Amino acid sequence: MTAPKAPADQEAPHRALVELDHVSKYYGNIKALTDVSLEVHAGEISCVLGDNGAGKSTLIKIIAGLHRHDAGTFLIEGEETTLANPRDALDRGIATVYQDLAVVPLMPVWRNFFLGSEPTTGSGPFKRLDVRLMRETTRSELLRMGIDLRDVDQPIGTLSGGERQCVAIARAVYFGAKVLVLDEPTAALGVKQSGVVLKYVAAARDAGLGVVLITHNPHHAYLVGDRFVLLKRGAMSGSHTRASVTLDELTRQMAGGSELEELSHELERAPAPTRLGGHPVPGKPE
113 contacts: CB under 8 Å, gap ≥ 6: 134, 137, 138, 141, 152, 167, 170, 171, 174
C-alpha distances in angstroms, 116 versus 69, 72, 112, 129, 196?
27, 33, 9, 12, 27
The span from the first CA to the last CA of the chain, in angstroms, equals 93
Could you tell me if 60 and 14 are in contact, meaning their C-beta atoms sit under 8 angstroms apart?
Answer: no
Give pLDDT, residue 122: 84
- The residue ranking higher by pLDDT, 179 or 101, is 179
Ramachandran assignment for 181, one of left (phi > 0), alpha (psi -120 to 50 degrees), beta (any other): beta
Q: What percentage of the chain reaches a pLDDT higher than 90? A: 47
CA 179/CA 181 separation, integer angstroms:
7
What average pLDDT does range 154-176 have in this prediction?
Answer: 88
Stated length of the chain? 286
pLDDT digits (tens, 9 = 90+) for 104-145: 889 999 999 998 888 888 888 888 999 999 999 999 988 888
Residue 38, judged by CB atoms within 10 A of its CB (0-12, 13-18, 19+), counts as buried
Give pLDDT, residue 265: 58
What average pLDDT is seen over the chain? Answer: 85
Where exactly are the structural domains of the chain? 14-255
Q: How confident is the model at residue 10 (pLDDT cuts 50, 70, 90)?
A: very low
What average pLDDT does range 280-284 have in this prediction?
Answer: 58
Q: How many CB atoms lie within 10 A of CB 97?
A: 22
CA 32/CA 129 separation, integer angstroms:
43
Q: Quote the Cα angle for 38-204-150, to 5°.
A: 145
Give pLDDT, residue 11: 42
DSSP 46: E
Backbone φ and ψ for 272, nearest 5 degrees, come out as -65, 145
CA 11/CA 33 separation, integer angstroms:
34
pLDDT digits (tens, 9 = 90+) for 35-85: 999 999 999 999 999 888 888 999 999 999 999 999 999 999 999 998 989
Helix (H) or strand (E) holding 126: none
CA 16/CA 39 separation, integer angstroms:
6
Give pLDDT, residue 43: 93
C-alpha distances in angstroms, 159 versus 90, 95, 105, 144, 170?
26, 22, 9, 19, 15
CA 44/CA 180 separation, integer angstroms:
11
14-255: what fold? Rossmann fold (3.40.50)
Give pLDDT, residue 79: 92
Per mean pLDDT, which range of 39-48, 167-176, 265-274 is the poorest? Answer: 265-274
